[in-house]
């Protein structure tokens, strides 16, 4: 079961990992967090279990500071509202601009989002098609 929360980018490019997510993950201040961006540069994926190339440390207030170069690629600015989605089975958190994945289905571009999967919105029709094709294998 995914858990969803919102957070905001501050003036130093930091964002707070919401307490609801952190309590489920058990991450502590000072934890080394590895992260990467998704394929279309709309989100980052955080994990303590997987080495994904770039790492940062969570401060005592459960904040992360992303490198400026990455923030520019993601086009995140001060005041942007981010979504944070915990996928507990995989031990990862996907962070993205709230509007980016909420506006349309990543597959058919429909505005009717049913489910967020790995930081991308999927509509009911596409989710049904995916489920049918998976079970047909």
pTM for the whole thing? 0.61
Element (H, E) at 128: helix 124-136
Under a CB-based contact definition with an 8 Å cutoff, are residues 84 and 18 in contact?
yes
What digits encode the pLDDT tens for the residues 5-25? Answer: 788 888 888 888 877 777 787
Which residue segment(s) compose the domain that 91 sits in?
A: 3-98
How many domains is the chain built from?
A: 2
Could you give the percent of the chain with pLDDT greater than 90? 0
Nearest CA to 33 out of 14, 17, 11, 49 is that of 49
Tokens of 76: 């995140």
Same domain for 24 and 75, yes or no, is yes
Under a CB-based contact definition with an 8 Å cutoff, are residues 46 and 16 in contact?
no
Same domain for 83 and 51, yes or no, is yes
**Residue 56's beta-bridge partner residues?**
33
Q: What is the CATH number of the domain that holds 40?
A: 3.40.1550.20
Q: What pLDDT sits at residue 101?
A: 47
Q: How far apart are CA 110 and CA 11, in angstroms?
A: 34
């Amino acid at each position: 079961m995914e858990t969803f929360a919102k957070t905001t980018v501050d003036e130093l490019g930091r964002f707070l990992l919401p307490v609801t997510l952190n309590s489920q993950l058990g991450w502590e201040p000072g934890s080394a967090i590895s992260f990467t961006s998704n394929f279309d540069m709309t989100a980052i994926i955080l994990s303590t279990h997987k080495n994904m190339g770039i790492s940062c440390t969570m401060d005592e207030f459960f904040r992360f500071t992303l490198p400026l170069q990455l923030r520019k690629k993601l086009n995140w600015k001060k005041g942007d509202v981010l979504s944070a989605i915990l996928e507990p089975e995989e031990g990862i958190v996907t962070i993205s601009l709230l509007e980016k994945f909420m506006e349309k289905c990543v597959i058919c571009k429909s505005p009717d989002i049913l489910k967020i999967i790995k930081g991308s919105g999927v509509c009911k029709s596409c989710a049904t098609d995916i489920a049918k094709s998976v079970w047909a294998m």
